[in-house]
Amino acid sequence: MSRRRGIMSEQLKNEVAKELGFYDTVQREGWGGIKSRDAGNMVKRAVQMAEENLQDSNRS
């Protein structure tokens, strides 16, 4: 079975992890080392960013 390609780029994931304060864990342990709560907060923030970008593009 092939692995599904991620929706978020590595750059975006790193940016959000830095913003939320657990990027050091990602550097030490990889993405598998973060808490499920952190992963959920990361997705929540990414959705929020996407919604903000969509609103900005609709205003233009």
Please state, as a whole number, how many other Cβ atoms lie within 10 Å of the Cβ of residue 34.
Answer: 18
Per-residue tens of pLDDT for the chain, all 60 residues: 456 677 889 999 999 999 999 999 999 999 999 999 999 999 999 999 999 999 988 887
pLDDT value, residue 6: 76
**What DSSP assignment string belongs to 9-60?**
-HHHHHHHHHHHT-HHHHHHH-GGGS-HHHHHHHHHHHHHHHHHHHHHHHH-
| Whole-number Å distance between alpha carbons of 22 and 40 | 13
